Amino acid sequence: MSYARVKPHRLERAASASLRHTRRYTGRPPADGTAAEAPRADLMTDVTVDCGWGRLIFAHTFDDLDRMIETLRQEAPGTRDIVFYLQDPHVALARAPQELFLDPSHTFRLWLSDYRPSRLRPKGYSVRRLRTREDAEGVQRIYARRRMVPVSASFLVASRNSRVLTHFVACDDATGEVIGSVTAVDHAHAFGDPENGSSLWCLAVDPQASFPGIGETLVRTVAEHVQARGRAFLDLSVLHDNETAIALYEKLDFRRIPAFALKTRNPINERLFTGPQPGERLNPYATIIVNEARRRGIGVDVLDAEGGYFCLTWGGRSVVCRESLSELTSAVAMSRCDDKAVTRRVLERAGLKVPAQAVARDAEENAAFLETHGRIVVKPARGEQGRGITVDVRDAETMESAIAAARQHCDLVLLEQFCEGQDLRIIVIDKKVVAAAVRRPAEVTGDGTHSVRELIEAQSRRRAAATGGESHIPMDAETERCLAAAGRTLDDVLPAGEVLPVRKTANLHTGGTIHDVTDSLHPELVEVSTVAARALDIPVVGFDLLVEAPDRPGYVFIEANERPGLANHEPQPTAERFVDLLFPQTRGVL
């Protein structure tokens, strides 16, 4: 069938999305003569561009619809191909309705003749082209944290001098760590585009980066890069419900255009073509498990979305779960973890190292415990997500206030010896260590312009967006206490580049960040974690330890969580190992 060269009806021609007719869609006309500035080359046909995560298939370069569909059918395993600029999506879908689906994304365009660079420069970080394998590995880490389709480091390095693809990275000036990335595709070099266009793909910012404006800087860098090449416009595709990204693009004067994208049905795209299940609004910790179960063909029945309860069924076997807590965890094991005092006694009897601990009683006994240890932690005996915990208490007045705050969560309050060290979370499933991550307290980085309050608000928005609303920094008495200890208030303006911790605890729910260290975990820490899981007789558990470093011996157990969050441990296969535990017969299902 002839596709692109079929003469369209005059009404269709009048409404088509082209440079000539773009004013009606975007309010931005093309610059005079821009199309003539494209490289002088014949228009190529049947064009695909390998981007590492999959291929961009430029639909308007195909003159045969069947050949374009066959090209999409050749998608490699583990990748996601995208047909872009599709003219007749309804016809393509009718040709292969069981294989293809229309991507639920909007296409936005920035007319570069109207674009003006910002006068503000990034502070604390810089953006440059990807250069080294270390840069590429940094991009891989961010892709994993954002649950994006992975790209091999070898591909990124091999394509760093490409004229078609340009990879940019944002790097922390102090550490050199990659904290953001984006890729530009030059259509003129890809296929001699007569409309002289370009596009932007895979904008990704580390959800744990503390600098404001990284995403905007990366988008502007791409815009200025292709503008310098003389391109007419910059296009991008964004999911229709990604409100944060859409707000950024509209702020930069991108406008929607009527261009469509087509994808093939595969496990990577499953959520897009199946759509949300009726009535489901599961949190990220339940969602990661449910998605893995569905990928294996396991039946899912959501029992209480708000509480995170669901039932998995396969082969006549059903297991009810609340996130990572399942019917396989006994009530006795759960009660041992639920009461922090009991947890400590069980682990101590197993020969494991635990901090000194006492029950908060009268002021005199409490003061004696504080005097003995100098610095203590006050926490409710029961609770989760860091609620009611006050860390590094050094005086009696603060201690009594902390005890009163903890009693709002549990009548029984514990005083615990404060131990120095990095906060390490280890996930153990079926008596095997699956993931380990250093958890760091929330912090903000000054830019010389915004107050601490504004920096915290911006950081909270980024953390919430990256974690499905699970992580944010409370602006409460504990935050004010941490700031006061550093000689700061919420209204202070930090100098550019100054890093300020704003919480003492590293819990994800209070804005803490998670950094994977599984591959470098010291053997002693692996061993004591499996011993602790056996002592508690629990199939799934998250241990909190304080360590000198994750790759060195030495530790102290702080507590055990019978319902650890399995999300945010990318790239470790936490959900996969959990479903393996419940349904071992489904191991290896694609």
Per-residue pLDDT tens digits for 57-89: 999 999 999 999 999 999 998 899 999 999 889
CB 435 within 8 A of CB 520: no
Q: What is the 3-state secondary structure (H, E, C) of 430-476?
A: CCEEEEEEEEECCEEECCCCCEHHHHHHHHHHHHHHHCCCCCCCCCC
Radius of gyration of the chain (CA): 27
**pLDDT range class, residue 260, cuts 50, 70, 90:** very high
In whole angstroms, give the CA distance from residue 217 to residue 180: 10
Q: What is the pLDDT of residue 409?
A: 86
What order do you get walking across the sheet with 299-304 strand by strand? 299-304, 309-314, 317-322, 325-326
Tens of pLDDT, residue by residue over 326-362, are 999 999 999 999 888 899 999 999 999 999 888 888 8
For residue 561, give every residue at least 6 positions away whose Cβ sits within 8 Å of its Cβ, in sequence order, or none: 337, 384, 541, 542, 543, 544
Tokens read off for 302? 């959501």
Would you say residue 374 has pLDDT above 80?
yes
Q: What is the C-alpha to C-alpha distance for residues 178 and 155, in angstroms, rounded to an integer? A: 17
Q: Report pLDDT digits (tens) over 417-456.
A: 888 889 999 999 999 999 999 988 888 888 888 888 888 8
**Percent of the chain scored above 90 by pLDDT?**
53
Q: How far apart are CA 331 and CA 338, in angstroms?
A: 10
Pairwise CA distance, residues 312 & 319, whole Å? 5
Q: Are 564 and 428 in contact (CB under 8 A)?
A: no
Q: What is the mean pLDDT of residues 22-27?
A: 43
Phi-psi category of residue 279: left, alpha or beta, with phi > 0 → left and psi -120 to 50 → alpha:
left
Q: Report the amino acid identity of residue 202.
A: C
Residue 315, amino acid: G
Average pLDDT over residues 476-489: 85
Which of residues 480 and 162 earns the better pLDDT score? 162
Q: The whole model's pTM is what?
A: 0.69
What's 494's DSSP letter? P
Beta 233-239 vs 48-50: how paired, if at all?
A: unpaired
User: 353, 557 in Cβ contact below 8 A?
Assistant: yes
CB 526 within 8 A of CB 515: no
Judge whether 312 and 318 are in contact, CB under 8 Å.
yes
Residues forming a β-bridge with 288: none
Q: What confidence category does residue 200 fall into, taking pLDDT thresholds of 50, 70 and 90?
A: very high
Q: What is the mean pLDDT of the chain?
A: 86
Residue 258 has pLDDT above 80, yes or no: yes
Do 320 and 327 contact (CB within 8 A), yes or no?
yes
pLDDT at 536 over 80: yes
